[in-house]
Each structure stands twice: as structure tokens, then as C-alpha cells.
Amino acid sequence: MLEGKVAIVTGSGPNIGGEIARTLALHGAKVVCVDFLDDRAAVAATSINESGGEAISISADISTPMGVEDVFLATDKAFGRVDILVNNAAVNNEAGILDVEYEKWKWVQSVIMDGTMLCSQQAARRMVDQGNGGAIVNTASTTGHRGKAGFISYSASKGAVLQMTRTMAVQLAPYGIRVNSITPTQTGDSRGTTPGGSTAPRAAKPKNIPLGRWGDPSDQAQAVLYLASPMSAYVTGENINVDGGLLALFPSERDLGQT
Ligand SMILES: NC(=O)c1ccc[n+]([C@@H]2O[C@H](COP(=O)([O-])OP(=O)(O)OC[C@H]3O[C@@H](n4cnc5c(N)ncnc54)[C@H](O)[C@@H]3O)[C@@H](O)[C@H]2O)c1
């Protein structure tokens, strides 16, 4: 389905990003795995190459223009084009409005907002020059749709991702470049490994997810595959909630603290 396409996946760690990279590769894309931590990108690229796909890895910080330039120069050198960009890298900072530190607020914004903007800009410029469209898939969060106490930086940045998705989609539509997003809720297990993320143990079963289970990285990867492929040729500026129905649920009086 993606034969001849080149895809960049940022934040290709062992949880959602790695699974997205492997899924796109399985469907024929050549993949550029990007991560700033340890050897995470290399692990993802190696697993693709060992399964018969084609991938390279880049260790880079996508929150800075210089890091993003490294990613796209390496992509140009290896594959000479880019057709799909998945903006997946993120960090968290569990602090609310009363106690958030300015430097951490800026850090989360720089990875989620600046990283999404900088990578999208580089990808979109190349896609415009190439002249045959492209697909950008951003990663939001249920926390970007609803207020969540204690997550001011992350929720503000993820809300911005949803709005950047619509805004980029409108501008890039005349070039055949589609921009969409997915919205995961708690998925897989990155507790203790995500920079700034939670280390708290997760309950075996969720209380308020209608489908009755936590997300699996493959749930997110399948949605990205749809948005990155011609299956979604007439879809742009859209978000898919891959959240087991969480955002569809009307909060009960007990959840609202009104019992
Ligand atoms: N897992 C969940 O429960 C969940 C829920 C809602 C949304 N999401 C979103 O899904 C995406 C993937 O989540 P995940 O659980 O796989 O997270 P993760 O922490 O396992 O993976 C994110 C990866 O991004 C990398 N990264 C962070 N900053 C970077 C930078 N500046 N440059 C390059 N790489 C960087 C990290 O090293 C990490 O490997 C994120 O955007 C996250 O916000 C996840």
C-alpha cells in the first residue's frame, strides 16, 4: 500500500512510535526512525531491517531547528524524498497551573509544539517541491481535548496540535498534502520510560473506557496507517480518537464529584 513512499516517524521509541514505524514499513514504506534518547531509533530501524523492510535511524532532538535539519538532511541523503511524516515525539511534565516551572512548561512546548511545527514545515516544503502530495499525521491526546488538572503544559501543547492540524490542512490542501491527527488515550506501557511521564502503576482494567481495555500501540499504528495511505485520500484536517470510546462518554455525576 505504501510502496515507493518514504516515511519519517519521530519519537520511534518502543511504545507507539516504534509500532507505527514497523507498521508503515510492513506496508511498503521506507522509514526514517527518529529519537533523541539512547539507541531507541536504532532499535526500531534494526527491527524493520531484520524483518525485510528498509529503515534508517537518526538520533536527533526534534525540538530545535538544528535537530530537525539533521533529520531531513539525513532523509534527503538516504532516500531523496519524503511522502509521510508522523509527528509522534512527546515529553510530559506532570504539573498544574499552581506549581508548573517555566522551564518545564517551555520544554514540553518545545518538543510537542515546536517539534510538530518544525518537522511539518521541512516535510511540507519538500512535498510541495516534489509535486505529488503527501500525508502528515500528528499525535494529540485525550488530554488535549479535555481539562486535566495537573497537566497544564502537556494538555495545552496537545490542544495546540489539534489546531495546528486543521490550520496546516487548510493551507496544504491545494498541494494534495493531507494533514490529520490521532488521539490516543493511555496506550501500551511507557510508564517510567517517557521523559517527564508517570511512573505510577496502571490499574489492570480501566474504569471509564467503554471498550473495557487500555490501548495497544497497534491500535494507534493502524489509525496512522489509514491516515498515511490512499485509503484516506479524501480526509484532511480531521482527528481520529483512538481511545476506546473515552471521549464519547458523558461524565457521570460521580466523575464530576457531584454524588
Ligand atoms: N502512551 C499513552 O498512553 C499516550 C496517551 C496519549 C497520547 N500519547 C501520545 O502518543 C505519542 C507516543 O506516546 P508513547 O507512549 O509511545 O511515548 P514514549 O515516551 O514511549 O515515546 C515518545 C518518544 O519520543 C522521544 N522523544 C521525546 N522528545 C524528543 C525529542 N525532542 N526529539 C526526538 N525524540 C524525542 C522519546 O525519547 C520517546 O522515545 C506521544 O505523542 C504521546 O504524547 C500517548
Domain ranges for the chain: 6-248
> Coil, strand or helix: which one is 210?
coil
Q: Which of 12, 19, 36, 157 to mutate to test the pocket of ligand 1 (most atoms within 8 A of CB)?
A: 36
Which region, left, alpha or beta, applies to residue 80 given φ > 0 means left and ψ of -120 to 50 means alpha? left
Share of the chain above pLDDT 90, in %: 88
Give distance in angstroms: CA of 200 to centre of ligand 1: 17
18 lines ligand 1 (CB under 6 A): no
Residue 13 CA: nearest ligand 1 atom is 39
Cell readout for 18 is 516504534
* Phi, psi values for residue 27, rounded to 5°: -100, 15
**Any atom of ligand 1 within 6 Å of the Cβ of 36:** yes
* Cα 230–Cα 35–Cα 218 angle in degrees, nearest 5: 45
> Tens of pLDDT along 139-150?
999 999 999 999
What does the pLDDT read at residue 251? 78
| CB-based contact 155:143 (threshold 8 Å) | yes
- Answer yes or no: is the C-beta of 64 below 6 A from any ligand 1 atom: no
Predicted structure pTM score: 0.96
154 part of the active site: yes
Give the per-residue pLDDT at 192: 63
Distances (CA, A) of 14 to 42, 182, 242: 11, 18, 19
For ligand 1, what atom is nearest to the CA of residue 14? 20
Please state, in angstroms and as integers, the Cα–Cα distance from residue 45 to each residue in 31, 54, 85, 228, 229, following that order: 8, 8, 16, 19, 21
Instruction: Give, using CA atoms, the residue closest to atom 1 of ligand 1.
Output: 187
Grid cell digits, residue 76? 534527503
Q: Is the CB of 159 under 6 A from ligand 1?
A: no
Check pocket membership of 194 for ligand 1, CB cut-off 6 A: yes
Pocket lining: 154 vs ligand 1, CB cutoff 6 Å: no
How many whole angstroms separate alpha carbon 161 and alpha carbon 165? 6
Q: Which residue is closest in CA terms to ligand 1's atom 25?
A: 11
Average pLDDT over residues 35-39: 92
Q: What is the pLDDT of residues 72-123, one digit of tens each?
A: 999 999 999 999 999 999 999 999 999 999 999 999 999 999 999 999 999 9
Pocket residue to mutate for ligand 1, from 117, 157, 164, 190, most atoms within 8 A of Cβ? 190
- Closest residue by Cα to residue 189 from 158, 222, 214, 155: 214
Cβ–ligand 1 distance for 190 under 6 Å, the answer yes
The domain 6-248 having CATH identifier 3.40.50.720: the answer here is yes
Grid cell locating 220: 494507534
What is the per-residue pLDDT across 184-222, written as a single tens digit (0 to 9) for each?
999 998 766 677 777 777 788 898 899 999 999 999 999
CA of 164 to the centre of ligand 1 (A): 18
Residue 159 Cα, ligand 1 centroid: separation in angstroms? 16
Check residue 252 and report its DSSP letter. Answer: P
Q: Residue 259: its pLDDT value, please?
A: 43
